[in-house]
Amino acid sequence: MGIHTALQLDIMIPCSREEAILVLRNHDKYLKTFQRRRDLIYSAQLSIDEAIESSVMRRNLYSEASAGRKRYRKDAVYEAFAYAENLAADNKKQLIRSLEELNLEEQKFFSFMRALGTLPPMEQEFLLDRYYRKLSPEEIYRNYTGSEASSGALNIRKYLDNRAASIFRHLLEACDYKPPEKTV
């Protein structure tokens, strides 16, 4: 992918539990990250003026390096313009590719969020308590069973893991993101 950050989803795979947990833990940060990455992509885009300037600088450096040697000289203006056009076209392709990748990642993120919204409110709250709010296992057990944890930490963890696994099955079934068939 183009620009990498810590908050990045793999656009080439279907929705997974690991990425769902990543989204749950960081859902409030994703929109800012997407905007920041979009801004970085646009700021990396060369203008035609920058491409021409780069071409002229490259040509001048080449001319200085080959000074004293006889060589066939092409039209300097045409050469600079052709180089600038190629550079701008390559840069535009990279811009479009980076934006397409970011768009797919945003689609996957919103697919997770829509799927979360299809769950019953208690299941949504359970996932948020466990992964976003990071309540203790005892607090979550008490909140969702209405009783104190008396049978030990292992049973609490087993209860939480079983309940989370069941909710994630529903979440991933509702996640409608489809990876692209080919590399972007």
pLDDT at 59: 64
Residue ranges with strand state E in the chain: none
Q: Point out the least confidently predicted range of 18-22, 80-84, 117-121, 160-164.
A: 80-84
Q: What does residue 66 show for φ and ψ, rounded to 5 degrees?
A: -105, 15
Closest CA to 83 of 45, 54, 44: 54
Helix (H, G, I), strand (E, B) or coil at 161: helix
pLDDT, average across residues 34-57: 78
Predicted confidence (pLDDT) at residue 1 exceeds the cutoff of 50: no
User: What is the C-alpha to C-alpha distance for residues 108 and 179, in angstroms, rounded to an integer?
Assistant: 9
CB 123, CB 168: distance < 8 Å: no
Sign of CA dihedral 51, 56, 62, 65: negative
The model's pTM is 0.76
pLDDT at 86: 81
User: What is the C-alpha to C-alpha distance for residues 76 and 97, in angstroms, rounded to an integer?
Assistant: 32
Q: How far is CA 179 from CA 2, 55, 69, 101, 118, in A?
A: 17, 39, 55, 11, 21
Kindly provide the b/e burial profile for residues 46-82, where b requires at least 16 CB atoms within 10 angstroms of the residue's own CB: beeeebbebbbeebeeeeeeeeeeeeeeeeeeebbee
Predicted confidence (pLDDT) at residue 28 exceeds the cutoff of 50: yes
pLDDT at 67: 52
For tokens 């929705």, name the residue: 15
Predicted confidence (pLDDT) at residue 102 exceeds the cutoff of 60: yes
CB 143, CB 184: distance < 8 Å: no
Q: CB neighbours of 13 closer than 8 A, spacing ≥ 6?
A: 179
Which of the residue ranges 14-28, 65-79, 86-100 has the most confident prediction, judged by mean pLDDT? Answer: 14-28
Predicted confidence (pLDDT) at residue 16 exceeds the cutoff of 80: yes
Closest CA to 24 of 149, 143, 115: 115
User: What is the C-alpha to C-alpha distance for residues 52 and 58, in angstroms, rounded to an integer?
Assistant: 10
Confidence of residue 47 (pLDDT cuts 50, 70, 90): low
